Structure 1
Amino acid sequence: MVSQNGGQEVSAIIATFVFILLIVVIIILFLVFIKRKNKLLTEKQQAKREFENAIAETQIEIREQTLRNISWELHDNIGQLLTLAKIQLHQLDNTNENVAEVSDTISKSLTELRALSKLINPDALKNIMLPEALSLEIARFNRLNFIEATLTINGDEEIIDDKAEIILFRILQEFFSNTIKHAKASKLDVSLNYENNLLTIIAKDNGKGFDKSEYRLNKGIGLQNMKSRGKLIGAEIELESELEKGTKLTIIHYL
């Protein structure tokens, strides 16, 4: 009997030990789960903050670029038109022909000012779709004889997330800036292709191009910056270039 009771006590002790061990393991697993969950939440919140910061920085860059564009246009285009109108006024000899010339110059100035009024709105991209924003840019390039530019839209236009539009516009703005300032291109062709919830944007110039094997040049035109921006919205960025044959930017964005 003593031996039997002793065996029961040992079994009870073992059972108690196993139960306590099981409880400890469950608690440890629960704490590990909570820790990982909190880590994931923290990483998610940090990623969200970084995304919002990137969007805010991009909006600021767009505004700064827009203000620079306006400054150039006021000085180089509208300023010249108004100066011409002033000269024409001094040369008036009360002939209908001269009056018509002054009227035409002033009309052109007003047209330029109306075009600028659309760009000067800091929230322009919130009020217009990406195709219209690009159309304004292309029209400006042609109007100021910066470059011969075209915009082609294929397929039915689809709604793009506001933040994605800002990122896409800024990527293209960087490419346009390089094409006009550094590529010595005479033509710029841009196309938006909508198909099966997919937007493919192609921007191509006929400039001097560059050797892709030279990373320094890639970095110089903002390739890495374009790719990092594209990554924020899940867009694929590809830049192709060949010396003396131009550069082609392809953006693939899933809608």
Structure 2
Amino acid sequence: MESEESQIILFTTTIVIILFVVLIVLLFSFFQKRKNILLQEQINNQKRFEREIAETQIEIREETLRNISWELHDNIGQLLTLAKIQLQNATPENIDEVSQTISKGLNEVRALSKLINPEAIKNIDLKEAIQLEIDRFNRLNFIDSSLIIEGEEQEIDKKVSIVIFRILQEFFSNTIKHSKASKLNVLLKYTENEMIVSAQDNGIGFLASEKSGKGIGLTNISNRAKLIGAEAIFSSEKNKGTTLLIHYKL
């Protein structure tokens, strides 16, 4: 009798152990598979991020080349033409005007040279890149622009800076082309835990119901902000301008 009970206990124990081992194997297999899926997702996300960064750099470069082409043709070209006319009619009394025109042309060329350097696009310093855009807008009388820095400036990952700068480029482009604004104010605010970027114009704005009609620009901005873990928020009222707020956790 005791022998039968012992056998039953042994059999039951064996079954329990086998089931336990099988369960452990299944759980290990499940978690290993889940781990592999998560790792693959991380790899895919990283590839998508790198691809987006590369595309963003290309877009910045193309936008920069468009700006350079325009300035060479319409701005520096006009200055050189003016200098040529002044030289043809130069007198001792107006030679200073010729010198000033040529000096202005040289300054314009120096300003453009800062935008041509490909390394500047790959390793964007966000504050400097924004300031170059602001200076260009003011220099060419596109729009009265300003950049204000608040808080203690902190170093931002170069790839994050590239994405934020491209977002601002899109906003600037929309402001200049469509908003009919006379002022553009940009704020970089650093707190202990986040960087807040604000870009605000005083243009015609748009109603919330019109957002869907504003094209792919707003969608691109929101998607790119999500890509770097940031949040892009638009606010606008008809005839009261548009504001873009970007919150990025440091």
Sort the TM-score into its range (normalised by shorter chain): over 0.9
**Aligned position for 1:172:** 168
Letter of the 2:218 partner, please give it.
Answer: L
Cα distance in structure 2, aligned partners of 1:105 and 1:63: 29
Residue 142 (str. 1) matches residue 138 (str. 2): yes
Aligned AA for 1:88? Q
Among 98, 104, 113, which residue is 1:102 paired with?
Answer: 98
3-state DSSP of counterpart to 1:81:
helix
Amino acid at match of 1:196: E
Which residue does the alignment assign to 2:238? 243
| Gap runs ≥5 in structure 2 | none
Query: Deviations 1:213-236 (Å, cap 9, x if unpaired)?
Result: 123234x26122111111112212
Aligned to 1:38: 36
Contact 2:124–2:162, Cα closer than 8 Å, also in 1: no
Distance 2:124 2:218 in 1: 27
Partner of 1:211: 207
The answer to whether the 8 Å contact 1:179/1:185 transfers is: yes
Equivalent residue runs for 1:1-255 within 5 Å: 3-92=1-90, 95-127=91-123, 129-218=125-214, 220=215, 222-255=217-250
Supply the distance in 1 between the matched residues of 2:123 and 2:38 (Cα, whole angstroms).
35
Distance across 1 between alignment mates of 2:94 and 2:80: 15
Contact 1:178 1:221 (C-alpha < 8 Å) held by counterparts: no
Partner Cα separation in structure 2 for residue 216 and residue 133 of structure 1: 30
* Greater gyration radius: 1
**Aligned partners of 2:83 and 2:98 also within 8 Å:** yes
Question: How large is the RMSD of aligned CA atoms in angstroms?
Answer: 1.6
**Partners of 2:177 and 2:148 in 1: CA distance:** 23
Number of positions where the alignment pairs a residue of Structure 1 with one of Structure 2:
250
Does the C-alpha gap of structure 1 residues 43 and 8 become closer, same or farther in structure 2, counting only changes over 3 Å? same
Gaps of 5+ in 1: none
Contact 1:208–1:243, Cα closer than 8 Å, also in 2: yes
| 8 Å CA contact 1:204, 1:247 repeated in 2 | yes
SS in 1 for 2:208: coil
Q: What secondary structure, in the 3-state scheme, does the structure 1 residue paired with 2:209 have?
A: coil
The percentage of counterpart residues that share the same residue type is: 60
AA partner of residue 92 (structure 2): N
